[in-house]
Structures are given as structure tokens and as C-alpha cells.
Amino acid sequence: MATKEQRRQAKELFGTLERRVHEGPPVGGSELEAAQAFLSQSGFSSASLYYDRLAQVSALLRCRGGPTQGKRNYGGRAAGHMMQVQSIYDHVILSMCYDGEFNRARGRVKISHRFNSEGRVDFVELKFLRAMRPFLNGAIRKLLMVKDGRSLRRDWISAEAFVLPVLPQELVFLHPGIFRFERSEVLAWLVNLGHHFAQELLRHLAVPSGDADSAPTDNQQMPLGMILADGVALPVLEKAAALTSVVEVQQDKLAVVRYAAAA
């Protein structure tokens, strides 16, 4: 029977493996073999949940058909907007910038949506590129972040999410009347904005000349058109583009995000 210390080590080991299989660095086959040997030598029962977790990690790696890819960074103009797409292991971050003026103060923000391998949102994030209050320059705020995302099924239908109690006033750059709506409507709109632009990006790239204006502004980025050959980014964006969510506010800092069940 495993000791208390061995159970602690197992918890840490599998937490690390599960994080790395989604975020990197890549998990090697020898590491899975070592994890299985550790469970066996430490006296964990074959019915232990750690064996199930090991099988899940192994299955994820097999589904990818080879070594996990690293980070790819794409950028350019699509559907009238400058977009950035980061393909990172098994998820995608889609980002866009917005600027404007409010109460005689100018500002610029970057809005990012991270989608998991099944196109579900992990978080919606705002970065203050130029805040209307200068002390916030460079700060990042998670407007909505799915709770315990790593422990959920990738194709979850309903999930709790942490939400920012007071949303930044810079959101008026996205929609001038955004704060006239109910909080649940605002949060749902923010989530669905990412799904909408995933759809717009794919529609743009589907046109034969669609990547003509998709050249990156950063020489470290690849053109958006190359997403069509990315075995991770393209399926994630296709799944994200097909989804729409609703958000139900539970408390100031907690909400539930729901997707329609598959037909």
C-alpha cells in the first residue's frame, strides 16, 4: 500500500504530466513508463485513479499521432481586422486589438480567447496596451476563466467560470454601448466574440485569395494562410467557429458557461 509520501509524490507527478500534455513541454514515452513503474513499485492498487489518469495521458498522446508540436505564431489582417493566432500544443489563442477614446482619454487593449482542443473557451483575457489610467499599462485581466479546466472533459457542455467582478471601462472600445446590457449578456457576448472571429478567420482563409492581405506585421510571425496546414490550430478553430455559448451569472465572481449539446 502506498505511503502518505508516495501519494503526495503521485499527486505532484500526475499534475505535472497532465499540465504538460496540454501546455508543454512534450511528454515522452519513457516518462509514461517511469510513471507506471512508480505506481507499481509504490504499491498503488490497479483500481487506483492514477492508472486511469495515466491511461488518459497516453490516449491523448496517441491521438496526436506523434510528438507534440511546440508553439506556432501567426499574424496578419483577416476580415478587416489584425489578428494573431498562437497554436500551442493542443490549444489555440486568438487575439485582436482595439483602440478608442472615452471621456477624452485614449486607450488600446488586446483581447485574447484561448480555446481547448474541442473549441471550448478556456479564458477571455484583456491586456492593457495603453490604459486610460497609465498605471495599468501592461497589466492583464482575466475577464472570464473556466474553473478547473484541466480536469474537465475537453468537450464539456457546462462549466463554472471565474469572472472579473468589475469589467474594465476600456471594453467600450469593442462596443460603445456594452455596459447598457445585463452582466450575463456582456459576458456571453465577450465569449462568443472569440467564436465569431474564429468563424470570420476561416471564412476569410477559405477564399482562394483570402491570404493576400494576411501578411504578418511581426517578422517572427507566420502568415495567417499557413494555419490551413497546421494540424492543431485548424481543427481547433473549426470547432470553435461552430459553437455559441450562453453565460449565467451566479455571483459577482462566478458564472456558468453553457454550450449546446451535440445533436
Residue 145, classed as helix, strand or coil, is strand
pLDDT of residue 163: 97
Q: Where exactly are the structural domains of the chain?
A: 4-63, 71-259
Question: Can you point out the beta strands (E) in the chain?
Answer: 71-78, 81-88, 91-102, 105-115, 121-130, 140-146, 158-163, 222-223, 245-251, 254-259
- Rounded Cα distance between 82 and 84, Å, is 7
> Nine-digit cell at 124?
477571455
**Contact predicate 122/115, CB 8 Å:** yes
CB atoms within 10 A of CB 232: 19
**Segment holding 96, helix H or strand E:** strand 91-102
So what's the pLDDT on residue 216? Answer: 60
pLDDT tier for residue 240 given thresholds of 50, 70 and 90:
very high
The SS3 of residue 250 is: strand
SS3 160: strand
The candidate with the shortest Cα–Cα distance to 246, out of 171, 166, 174, 161, is: 161
Quote the radius of gyration of the chain (alpha carbons, Å).
Answer: 21
Model pLDDT, residue 214: 56
Distance between CA atoms of 255 and 129, rounded to whole angstroms? 27
Q: Output the pLDDT for position 212.
A: 45
The reported pLDDT for the residue numbered 174 is: 93
| Higher pLDDT among residues 258 and 47, named by residue | 258
Which grid cell is 71? 508553439
CB 39 within 8 A of CB 51: yes
Q: What digits encode the pLDDT tens for the residues 106-164?
A: 999 999 999 999 999 999 999 999 999 999 999 999 999 999 888 888 999 999 999 99
Using a pLDDT cut of 70, give the percent of the chain over it.
90
The model's pTM is 0.75
pLDDT in tens, 175-217: 999 999 999 999 999 999 999 999 999 999 988 654 445 556 6
H or E segment and range at residue 131: none
261, with CB counted inside 10 A (0-12, 13-18, 19+), is exposed
Q: Judge contact between 221 and 74, C-beta under 8 A.
A: yes
